[in-house]
Structure 1
Amino acid sequence: MSHAMPQRRGEESAPSTERLAIGINLAADVILAVCLLFFLFDARRYPMLPLDIAAWALLLAVVTLTQLGAARRVRLPTSWWTIARIVFGAVIVLDVFGVLDQVGNGVSGPYPTAAIGVGSGIAMFATAHQRERSITLAIAALGILLAVDIVVTAPGALDPDLAPGIVSLALALAPPIVGVATVRAFRNMVEFQSDLSQAKGTTSAAATSLGQTASEQLVRLDMQAEQLLDDVASGRTPLPLSESLADSASTIATQLRMNLVARKSETWLHHALTESTVFGAISTIDDPDGLAASLAPDQRDGLLTGIWMLAGDGERVAQALTVTVRRNNVGAQQRLAVTLELIGVPKRRVDPAAWQAISRVGRYTDVYSTPTLRVDVDCALDLVADR
């Protein structure tokens, strides 16, 4: 059963993240069960047992309602995360005060168990469309409260009771920290692969074309020009045009010419990189003659895959990426020289599959001089490639 929180209004569905929540929440449930067993075994030793029972009742209520809400068996309020944090705070206070007279008197405890289980409760919200910052702040608050409890109850640096307290702290913080890290890595990977899939769509498109951004701009300009012409034809706008309308028409014409000129040099490679959400901000394409359009579809796919695998892995991305394309004619054979320069990518971190992808483009050599990785590719042109 997936324990992810229900989707809030205005947010995109994330079924993959919800499936990921199954494993995270299962691990959290196991830790909760272990903490509950420890509590039941030591129940007779708690000096203020009603406080600890109340703490566990509140914790289990929040966890149960969260899971029922994820299964859409109950409807939770939109402020459920806020309510849960308040309840978690109450659980920690009740549980700590419930054992305050005994902790530190012996290595065997008893120790706050419900307070440790709060970490597992927080972990359940890692995949619940909550902001990572709010989850991190909740983890930090839990860690600080438990650390203070350890210091108060085991003040000596070499006190034997300090070790179980540290273990308890680690047991409390590990589930939410691992949950947040896992979800972050998963989302980065999905975004990275989605961006690559979208970019690969350009390899089968026309060699030179308008990208998505330029296409939207062209549609807007076309509508403005059509509206102006229709107004003139219908007589709503008299001739000669006023100075403001003339300036507007001139601007539209200039932008249309710029789009048409750009189409000759903005190849599939330009659109694949500059419109990428991952590499758009760091990419520079030096291909004034639009030579990348001459590459065959398989070469395009290999070059694009190689660039993506060289420049990032979803977690870490290059600081700068420059792609240069020039002619490299040898005799009667037409060839291209493609140079990739990446800053901030250690060669030891490069996936071997990246070199396999680059080899599909042509013969390559690589040189690494901190912090720049340079890859020179000599590729033969397929004269029947889509132009």
Structure 2
Amino acid sequence: MSTGTIETGGLAGFRRPRRTARTVSDVRERHGGRRMATGITIAAAIIIVWQLARAVLLAPVFPPGLGPWGAWIAIFVILAVGVVSRIFSRAQPLPDVLYITLLAALAVPVWLDVSATWGLLHLGVTPTAAAATGAVLMPVSAIRGTRVSLVVASTIGAVLLVETLLQASSAGPYTATGITVAASAVLPLVLTVVAIRGFRRLVGRELDLSIVQSTVTTPRSPFGMRASEELAQLDFEAETLLDDVGSGRIAIPLPADEAERAGRLAAALRQRLLAGRTDTWLRHAVTESAYLSDRVVVDDPEGFAGLLAQEQRDNLLLALWLLVGERRKGQPQPIEVIVSSPDGDDDSEHHSPVVRITIEVSGVVRRRLDPSTWDAVGSVGSHDVVAGSESFRIEIECRTDPTVPVSAPAADAAHPRGM
């Protein structure tokens, strides 16, 4: 299977199919990312036009010569090249060579503008094109990474600040104007970066939830994405070993190193298959989620979570998601989910197993929980809340769907013999 590596929180080395990684990119690009990029581009255009208007107003004050227009011509050339390249490379990311070239080219308008305005701050003349380069970087940060754009904008702002401070002795009150112009080269991009990172974090969490929610429709003891990858690798190694033996490349009896390899493969297969008996959808949903894996611990040794109906599964997953979202930053204690079946429960009237779910929550202020959290918990089953000094516990007792097949251990736990 062709795979592509993506971030998965605490699961180092976990790989998802390349198609899944491509879906993540498509959602960011087409289902909101493009709208955000359009809005950022419009905001950048407004800032550039405002700086251009300042240049027109300040032009009469400049000494004879090219004035600020050399820097502005350089900016327009950079913008034209960037727009044309984006039109022709819309279906793929901006090439690295062109990206680096455009960033390096911003030094030209900055240098021309600083040279043209040097020594004129006492007249109220400040850079305009150099300050506009920060706005040029705003749509770039939406298309490519935000770190490089932020570093470049900070460098430009530092150059303008140094120019202002070196003229402070003669500029007098216009020094504050120069500092404001230097800040205007950085501040819009900082706000853009905050918005972009927040948007990407939100989209990443929602998309991760959508991907993990596919586990709610699986059988009681499914193989998750990670287990499927491990089984595929073990299957490939076993087939390679058998092919080597069958073709005569490895003699029988097996050499010591090959015998050890075969034993290791057999042990890994047995371990994986035995673990799969109790690895329910809930364990896979938590393990395979980049958002939940480091924040939720599942204790379900008998695999009773597999008895829940699809609607109960979906609401339990949503409740965990909302609880994790309310945790304080830096909270080391994860949310613990304990799934069991109460002894001595004879549900002969409904003929449906009873599953008890206990959620130990720490690092969350109960009164600040969104009402939708309790709606989700209520959709799983009847529940009680036990408050503690620094945490609280949610005890849920739910009657599972009678159409869900019950294994012998689960049936015995839900309907003890002799009762």
Q: Paired residues, what number?
A: 373
Letter in 1 for 2:378: S
1:24 paired residue number: 40
> Contact conserved, 1:328 with 1:336, CA < 8 A, in 2?
yes
Per-residue deviation, 1:311: 1.0
Mapped pair 1:304 → 2:323: no
Aligned residue for 2:286, secondary structure, equals helix
Q: Which residue pairs with 2:147 in the alignment?
A: 133
| Selected match of 1:121 from 114, 136, 140 | 136
**2:88 aligned counterpart, secondary structure:** coil
Aligned counterparts of 1:266 and 1:233: Cα–Cα separation in 2: 35
Tell me, in whole angstroms, the C-alpha distance in 2 between the residues paired with 1:317 and 1:301.
27
The CA distance in 2 between the partners of 1:348 and 1:83, in whole Å, is 53
Per the alignment, do residues 90 and 346 of structure 1 end up closer, same or farther by CA in structure 2, a change over 3 Å counting? farther
User: In the aligned structure 2, how far is the partner of 1:161 from the partner of 1:367?
Assistant: 63
1:202 Cα deviation after fit: 0.5
Aligned equivalents of 1:44 and 1:297: distance in 2? 73
Matches within 5 A, 1:1-387: 15-16=29-30, 17-47=33-63, 50-72=66-88, 78-105=96-123, 109-130=124-145, 132-154=146-168, 160-233=173-246, 235-312=248-325, 319=332, 320-329=334-343, 331-333=345-347, 334-347=353-366, 350-366=369-385, 372=391, 374-385=393-404
The CA distance in 1 between the partners of 2:232 and 2:89, in whole Å, is: 46
* Deviation of the 1:260 alpha carbon: 1.4
Q: Which runs of 5 or more structure 1 residues have no equivalent in the other structure?
A: 1-9
Matches of 1:48 and 1:291, distance apart in 2: 84
- State the partner residue of 2:10: none
- Percentage of pairs with the same residue: 30
- Partners of 2:387 and 2:125 in 1: CA distance: 58
Moved more, 198-207 or 64-73: 64-73
CA distance in 2, matches of 1:369, 1:172: 51
Output the CA distance in 2 between the equivalents of 1:236 and 1:245: 12
Q: CA deviation at 1:239?
A: 3.0
Please report how far the alpha carbon of residue 123 of structure 1 lies from its aligned counterpart in structure 2 after TM superposition: 0.9
Q: Helix, strand or coil for the counterpart of 1:325?
A: strand
Deviation of 1:318 after TM superposition, in Å, equals 6.2
In 1, the alpha carbon distance for the partners of 2:327 and 2:88 equals 32
Alignment root-mean-square deviation, CA: 3.2
Distance 2:327 2:107 in 1: 35
Is the contact between residue 51 and residue 94 of structure 1 (CA under 8 Å) also seen in structure 2? no
TM-score by length of 1: 0.84
Structure 1 residue matching 2:204: 3-state secondary structure: helix
Q: Which residue of 2 aligns with 1:3?
A: none
In structure 2, stretches of 5+ residues that fail to align are: 1-20, 348-352, 407-419
The aligned amino acid for 1:68 is V
**Residue 112 of structure 1: how far off its partner (Å):** 1.4
* Residues 1:228 and 1:88: Cα distance change in structure 2 (over 3 Å): closer
In 1, are the aligned partners of 2:52 and 2:129 still within 8 Å (CA)?
A: yes
Q: Which amino acid aligns with 1:54?
A: G
Q: Which SS does the other structure have where 2:121 is aligned?
A: coil
Q: Deviations over 1:13-71 (max 9, x none)?
A: 65333442111011101110111012112211123652521111111211222122212
Deviation of 1:346 after TM superposition, in Å, equals 4.5
Distance in 2, Cα, partners of 1:77 & 1:219: 35
Rounded to whole Å, the distance in 1 between the matches of 2:245 and 2:114 is: 80
CA contact (8 A) 2:326 2:369 kept: no
1:134-181 Cα distance to aligned partner (Å, 9 max, x none): 122113212322322333344599x54344334434432232112222
Higher deviation after alignment, 277-286 or 147-156? 147-156
SS at the partner of 2:276? helix
Contact preservation (8 Å) 1:336, 1:381: yes
Q: Secondary structure at the match of 1:101?
A: coil
**Residues 88 and 226 of structure 1: is their aligned pair in 2 closer, same or farther, counting only changes over 3 Å?**
closer
For residue 235 of structure 1, report the CA deviation from its aligned partner. Answer: 4.9
Compared CA separation, residues 236 and 260, structure 1 to 2 (3 A): same
Code of the residue aligned with 1:118 in structure 2: it is T
**Closer/same/farther in 2, CA of residues 95 and 238 from structure 1, 3 Å limit:** closer
Structure 2 CA distance for partners of 1:152 and 1:252, relative to 1, 3 Å: same
Q: For each residue in 1:255-279, what CA deviation from the matched residue of structure 2 results, as whole angstroms up to 9, or x when unmatched?
A: 1111111011110001111111222
